[in-house]
Amino acid sequence: MSHSITIPRLGWSMEEGVFGEWLKSPGEYVRAGEMVFMLEGEKAAQEIESFDSGYLCIPPDAPQPGATVKVGEVIGFLLAEGEPVPTTVQVDQSNTQSSPSQTKDRPRSESTLSPATTLASSPRVAGPAARRLSRELGIDLNIVITPDPTGRVQSEDIRRAAKLPDRDRSTEKIIQKAIATPRARRRARELDIDWNRLIGTGRGGRIRERDVVKAQMTQPVVNTAAEPTPSVPGRYVPASKLRRVIAERMTATGHQAAPVTLTTKVDAQPLVSFRERLKRDASSSVVPSFNDILIGLTAQTIRELPELNACWLRNGIYTFDEIHIATAIDTPDGLLAPVVRQPDRLTLIEIAKQTRQLIQLARTGQLKQEHLTGGTFTISNLGMFGIDAFTPILNLPQAAILGVGRIMEEPVARNGCLEVGQTLTLSLTFDHRVVDGAPAARWLQRLCQQILTPDGTRVP
């Protein structure tokens, strides 16, 4: 039986990517687990793993390097020995969402896929074990419900889905039940909204009319035709793919979250003295920066007060079990936020080594998707640019981001006396849906206490 090679979803908001190149030659035997092609996602390129084995078949109408491809698009096949070769990457029209005119003009293959191998419009992200289990049980990944905020399907999610009724033995797939009310379906058609992508608030997750209306109200409205043409001569440069992704993410924050920012100022003298001691006592060539120290202190604070290590998910709060801190890095192509994994379990030297490696990869364009995903909290530091304070924007779906300003000299009061000291301004933006103002303020207060006593940070 042939297996389709499809474009996976590399990020939680990814809808399309750029095809890089095939890593295998046509006709070459590909084993499950081997890398088969390169795909550029929202911010990085990644080698894509094959979940099946077979001989690689690349049809004539497969995408060329540099072509834009949509998530779920079929770009090739893995065939068994002696199996007929498909002549096109298009799948059976009964399983697509094309309009009648598109169906009429689209070429058809003499050797189309069987029902068991046709694709849904937007395949889910899942690991090799989960995909293998879904094939064994005949479960369609696109209808599996998962608590993972990234939408990634786990093996246990598939086992739960296997207990669902209405099994279609002819295709060995689970038939997706209608989970929207007739009024919701009708309103979705009127507003041109795909109700299959909505999360219902009714009993059993049923989508109601008000869910559709709410989705329409939260969608950003972009009307480029209404944008006035500048009256002053200038030069127009189309935004790069990365810049468009950044713009979409920044816009989404205002529509999909309830951001609130708290700002405070803390005495930075203990932090400065602590780093000076690290520089004097350094036993290696790596000296932790202020940002490295703040990553370590932030991780300790999150471990004590985990309310901000969470996200809003399906009308509820999903709290992460692990701490992974993304750190914003300025690159020639745009802002990237690679992730330092579990800094609460690392020494400062280990954190510093990770951040330096990530900075090097970011500025040379070598970051992979795994470096950019899985963050649970973000730190954005603009102190090196002389910025005192700013309002950071949430890095969705995370519930909080810490903005760090510069360390500056100014008059401070100590023991009733005025003297020249050093201060640091911190700005915490949080999603008010996930946490209230008082817990967020306590968290920021605790971080300031950590900064006043940084000696508790793990140092080798």
- Delimit the domains of the chain by residue range: 3-123, 182-218, 259-456
Residue 218, pLDDT score: 58
CATH number given to 182-218:
4.10.320
CA of 432: how far to CAs of 400, 435, 440, in Å? 10, 5, 9
Long-range contacts of 80-83 (CB under 8 A, 24+ apart): 80/1, 80/2, 80/54, 80/55, 81/55, 83/1, 83/2
Record the tokens describing residue 171, joined without a space. Answer: 């295709």
The CB density around residue 428, as the number of other CB atoms within 10 Å, is 20
Residue type for 274, please? Answer: F
Residue 415, pLDDT score: 83
CB 329 within 8 A of CB 367: no
Per-residue pLDDT of the chain (460 residues; tens, 9 = 90+): 678 898 887 766 677 888 888 998 888 899 888 889 988 876 667 788 888 888 898 888 888 888 888 888 889 988 887 777 776 665 433 333 333 333 333 333 333 333 233 333 345 577 777 777 877 777 777 667 666 655 677 777 777 777 644 333 333 333 344 467 877 877 777 777 777 777 777 776 778 888 887 776 655 545 555 567 777 888 877 777 667 767 777 776 667 788 999 999 999 999 999 999 988 887 667 889 999 999 999 999 999 999 999 998 878 899 999 999 999 998 877 788 899 999 999 999 999 999 999 999 888 888 887 888 889 999 999 998 999 999 999 988 899 999 999 999 998 888 888 888 999 999 999 999 999 999 999 999 999 999 999 876 665 5
Residue 405, pLDDT score: 95
CB 71 within 8 A of CB 17: yes
pLDDT tens profile 55-108 = 898 888 888 888 888 888 889 988 887 777 776 665 433 333 333 333 333 333
Q: SS3 for 128?
A: helix
Q: Give which of 97, 96, 53 is closest to 77, Cα–Cα.
A: 53
Residue 148, pLDDT score: 61
Query: Across 236-372, where does the E strand assignment appear?
Result: 259-267, 310-313, 316-319, 324-327, 329-331, 334-336, 339-341
113 vs 47: CA distance, rounded Å: 25
Q: Give which of 159, 173, 3 is closest to 79, Cα–Cα.
A: 3
pLDDT tens profile 392-437 = 999 888 999 999 999 999 988 888 888 889 999 999 999 999 999 9
CB 149 within 8 A of CB 314: no
Residue 104, pLDDT score: 36
State the fold for domain 259-456: Chloramphenicol Acetyltransferase (3.30.559)
CATH pick for 3-123 out of 2.30.110.10, 2.40.10.10, 2.40.50.100, 3.50.50.60? 2.40.50.100
Give 29's contacts (C-beta < 8 A, 6+ positions apart). 53, 54, 55, 56
CB 91 within 8 A of CB 44: no
What's the predicted TM-score (pTM) here? 0.58
Q: SS3 for 336?
A: strand
Residue 88, pLDDT score: 63
CB 401 within 8 A of CB 393: yes
